[in-house]
Amino acid sequence: MKSEIIERLGQAELLLPALIVEGLAANDRVKLRLSVLQSAASHAGEPTSTCFELARECHAAGIDPIALETLVDRATTSAGGEISAPGLGALCTAIWDDVAAMIRAVKAGDPTNGRKAEERLVAIRELAPVGSSDIVASRDVARLTAVSDAAGDSLHRLVMDLHKALNRLAAAHAEEQLSGARVSGLLPDDRPGVEAFMRGVHATEKLKFGHPGLATTATRSGERLTIQNDIGETDAHVVVITVERDLVTVTYTDVHLARAKFFIGLFRNFAMQWSGLERKSAAGLGEDGAFYLVTGRLSYDKAENRDAFLESVGASLVFLIDWNKARKVLRGWISKSDAIRVLCWAAHHRIGHRAFLELGGGDLVAAAVHHATPTRIGFGERLDNVLGRDAAVDFVKTVLRVSAEALAEGGSTRLARDRIEAALVAHLQRVDGALMAVMIRQAGLAREIAAATARFVAARQASEPFDVTALADRARRIEQKADRIAVDARSAVARFNANRGIEALVNQMEDAVDELEQAAFVASLIPDDIPAELLAPLAELCTTTVVGTEAAAAGVAAAADVPEGHRVDTEDALAAVGRLIDVEHQADAAERAVTARILTGEFPFKAALSVLEFARALERSTDRLAAFGHLLREHVLADLSA
């Protein structure tokens, strides 16, 4: 029992059963010590007629008999009537302490009689001012050991009266077990509330995984039922719940302000009225003798509402054990606010964090990083810098969940570590997958420009009007959009420490878009009267370019699923690479056909030059797409080998 903090909270009745036990033990000790004092006085007066016969009583009271036997055997008296013995002063001090312990217990259960006993003790000490000296007046020994003296009172009489009071209190507050709680003095109406609280405790206590704590006591005092739980080992970490006719009051103390706020947040589903968090001071409690206190009140009109709340409080307490330790470990991998958010999630889903700490905590995550992705995450680097905030939080949740499942089900910790490593790899692959999706967008933008140039050539073949200015403007806007996407992708590669091969793919696709935009620009300058014999190879070149952009998009989409182990996706990705190489060859042939006709024919200079530049720009875009295909093949093969 954390008696100091309980007394500071004004809940001394919770300590009564323990105080009664302590008081009765003090009664046994003080009676023995008074007998020893009396024996010492007798031996001092008649050394040859007195021997020490209290060894058995000493053992029963938990006192070393050798020291007391030495005290009695060496007791002497002076001509002035003073008794001297080694350890006599310590014996007398212990006698006063024992009586004080008895009074403390009586006062906790019967304040009126306790105060009267205190007054009697003060009067007795004035009549027999025995201190810590090893020399005591014979008359003072008599006043201490006699049943009564001339004044009508003595220490012996006070001890007897206190013993009777303690026996009455013990009978009225006999402890029993109720659903695992130590209870005393309960009324019949109190029992359902205590049982509800303990249902909550038992529902989640397995999640402490051997950590000490969660001992519960309950007692009835006057008009209220009081339930107390010691939570963990910290002296100032307790929760006290009082239940009255229509009100439940929760008093919570903690040395950690952040954990106190977390505790309050556990009861958002109840209409609680909370006081402000007060900073208190007490020597020996918390850092610099400081702790925080908060009080919450819940009014209720039905017993089932009361019991539902008490059960919720009981179930929440296990998530406070080692909470601050878990928070410190987690914030080495994610932000402070996200660490608290994860702990709130773990409590809400009844997963907790103790299993995570039991399996190694930060070392568990570090081992996963070392074994699964040593080149992606540097020493001391936070996960949210590599995975992104949401993915890092999701991974940490997975770590806590897998840890709890492993310990709760008695599974293999090696298997748990393997699952955590696999989860980390999967998250990293999702990062890469998001970057692969960027390339699909790039390929889509490339196709838009390629398809627009194909429509331009088709319109010329059909002698239909076509807005070439709009073509150039649209291509320019698409190219600018593609540039922004590429910049963001390169930034993400650097931020997430992603595969540098992905950055090369992004760059190559960006170059293809640039060449296509150049082709659209040149198209806007081609004269309207293009000779028909040039339009046929241009149409073939445009169609080939469109096919190339589609093959690039299909290849990236398939490659994104390769890490999942889908063989068909591997085959699709490599087939797309093959199509890109074929597209390059076809485009080369089409571009040469255009060049040959221009150089062997008689065409207007402006028309010939513009068509030639248009064809060369399209052909260069297919070169870039082919280079993209070669890089994609390397990427797929690297994933397969990994």
Residue with tokens 């806590």: 400
How far apart, in whole angstroms, are the C-alpha atoms of residue 82 and residue 472?
120
pLDDT in tens, 49-93: 666 677 777 877 788 888 888 888 888 888 777 889 998 889 889
Same domain, 395 and 489: no
Q: Is residue 1 in some structural domain? A: no
The whole-number pLDDT of residue 432 equals 66
What average pLDDT values come out for the chain (642 residues) when binned by 10 residues?
A: 58 69 83 84 79 74 84 85 88 91 87 90 84 83 70 80 83 79 87 96 93 86 83 77 91 89 93 84 59 89 94 96 94 92 95 92 82 62 77 90 87 79 72 74 92 94 92 95 87 65 87 95 91 90 95 86 61 88 94 93 90 95 94 78 56
Residues 622 and 637 in one domain: yes
Burial track 596-622 (b if 16+ CB lie within 10 A, e otherwise): ebbeeeebeeebbebbbbbbbbbbbbb
Q: For residue 418, give Cα distances in angstroms to 351, 364, 376, 423.
A: 19, 11, 18, 9
Distances from the Cα of 293 to the Cα of 15, 258, 259, 264, 483, angstroms: 20, 12, 11, 11, 56
User: How many secondary structure helices (H) and strands (E) does the chain include?
Assistant: 23, 12
Please identify, among 320, 335, 368, the residue that sits at the C-terminal boundary of a domain.
320
Same domain, 330 and 292: no
On whether residue 428 sits in a domain, the answer given is no
pLDDT number for residue 22: 82
Q: Are residues 150 and 167 in the same domain?
A: yes
What local confidence, expressed as pLDDT, does residue 310 receive? 96
Tell which residue, 633, 449, 454, 434, has the closest CA to residue 552: 633
Query: What would the DSSP string read from start to end of 571-594?
Result: HHHHHHHHHHHHHHHHHHHHHHHH
Where does residue 632 rank: exposed (0-12), middle (13-18), buried (19+ CB within 10 A)? Answer: buried
- Separation between Cα atoms, residue 212 and residue 84, nearest integer Å: 49
- Would 421 be classed as within a structural domain? no
- Please give the residue range of the domain that contains residue 143: 12-172
Q: Are residues 621 and 497 in the same domain?
A: yes
Query: CA 52: distance to chain centroid?
Result: 62
* Residue 635 lies inside a defined structural domain of this protein: yes
Calculate ∠ Cα 180-184-189, nearest 5°.
Answer: 85
CB-based contact 136:106 (threshold 8 Å) = no
**β-sheet bridge partners, residue 299:** 247
Condensed to tens digits (0 to 9), the pLDDT of residues 550-561 reads 999 998 888 876
Please check whether residue 3 lies inside any domain of the structure: no
Are 393 and 335 contained in the same domain?
A: yes
Tell me the C-alpha to C-alpha distance, in Å, between residue 7 and each of 48, 194, 229, 250, 317: 51, 21, 14, 16, 21
> DSSP 3-state assignment of 252?
strand
Q: Which residue has the tokens 């990062």?
A: 431
Cα torsion angle, 301, 305, 309, 314, sign? positive
Domain-ending residue, one of 320, 353, 381 = 320
Domain assignment present for residue 59? The answer is yes
For residue 106, what are its two tokens?
Answer: 């009586």
Same structural domain, 330 and 407: yes
User: In terms of C-beta density within 10 A (0-12 exposed, 13-18 middle, 19 or more buried), how is residue 507 classed?
Assistant: middle
Do 147 and 276 sit in the same domain of this protein? no
Residue 417 domain flag: no
HSE-CB at 401 with a 13 A cutoff on CA atoms is 12
The pLDDT of residue 574: 87
Contact between residue 579 and residue 607 where contact means Cβ atoms under 8 Å apart: no
Statement to judge: residues 92 and 194 lie in one domain: no
Question: What does the pLDDT read at residue 206?
Answer: 94
DSSP string over 516-550: HHHHHHHHTTS-S---HHHHHHHHHHHHHHHHHHH
**Residue holding tokens 């002063």?**
89
**Partners of 84 in the beta sheet?**
76, 135
| Cβ atoms of residues 119 and 108 within 8 Å | no
Residue 475 lies in a domain: yes
Q: Are 58 and 161 in a shared domain?
A: yes
Do 274 and 329 share a domain, yes or no? Answer: no
Chain centroid, CA 554 distance in Å: 42
Compute and round to an integer the Cα radius of gyration of the chain. 43
* Last residue of one domain, picked from the residues 157, 172, 187: 172
**For the chain, how many structural domains are there in total?**
4
Euclidean distance between the first and the last CA atom of the chain, given in angstroms as a whole number: 56
One domain for residues 217 and 302: yes
3-class secondary structure per residue, 98-110: HHHHHHHHHHHHC
Q: For residue 446, give the CATH number of its domain.
A: 1.20.58.220
Do 105 and 19 contact (CB within 8 A), yes or no? yes
